[in-house]
Structure 1
Amino acid sequence: MPTSTTPARPRRRQTLRQWFVELAKFGAVGGLAYIIDAGGFNLLVYGPGEVLGPHPVTAKILSACVATLFAWVGNRYWTFADAKRSTPGRELVMFLLVNAGGILVAAATLWTSRYVLGYTSQLADNIAGNIIGVGLGTIFRYVCYRYVVFTGDADDAPPKQTSPAAVPHQD
């Protein structure tokens, strides 16, 4: 039970090498999720039939949702595998909330570009939504994944076994 001086969520300590490996994994998962997101957006808006051509913000939200599900699996089972929670349902809800924030960042940059600044070309849509928006959203996501979603809380960890030799003998 945490006391007032004990933090409820201890941070995982990492070496610089471990942090770089974690960032590389996060980048690989994110790169694939980006391909899913940007590819899906362009297919929906500019692909055959231009299914969501008049609704680019809706297309951005849909493509980002598909990419988000891919990213949860990749980050949970690979990037942050050592820090995943024992309660995947709770972790998924937190992951989805964080990604909703990241999706809002990307959608807001696209919306601002289109409806405030008046840029409506395919190039402008991709720069605003798929470069600036995704870039800002990625920074937001990494910080939240590391410190909010994949924390491996002490409450989630199985109790440590102590050997009989480590326990002081009381007579």
Structure 2
Amino acid sequence: MENEVEDAVDVALVAYREEGVWQLTALPSGVGEDVEELERALRPFPSDCGVIGMVAVDEDFFVLARVSGTHTRLLLSDVTAIDEWPLASSVADELDLPDPEEDDEPQPAGDMEILADLGVTAIDLAVMLDDPDAYPDEVLGDIAERLGFGDAYQALVD
């Protein structure tokens, strides 16, 4: 299963600001397994505004994680991924979300204000997540653009 999940991860990166300048780097492949692994991978990075983890899986969903000290904020782009992917399931457990019903529509869960202090409001995220034709890595690219590191994001993803 582990190789299957690793192969399904489309994007796994960390963004952090050091002395006001955004830095981006790829995350290890194992972060697609669970939220605890993602948190562990993010904690070593310094940041003056919290460390942001961006993981997109199998053109299906993404997870945004923001770590500041011992506090972690999470956003899952689509609750219907909970039954299919270990990372989505572990985020749901962390957020104490109920299991989705079979007829549930795709919808985000978690902290929609996760990036509000950086200029990406809950309304901005809702609009981006509401586009049925946008792939998760594209939405993350839009978020990166709004945060000011779109070019660096594209360079890492391409």
- TM-score normalised per structure 2: 0.33
User: Could you say which structure has the greater relative contact order, defined with CA pairs below 8 angstroms and 6 or more residues apart?
Assistant: 1
Larger Rg: 1 or 2? 1
- TM-score normalised per structure 1: 0.31
Structure showing the higher strand proportion among its residues: 2
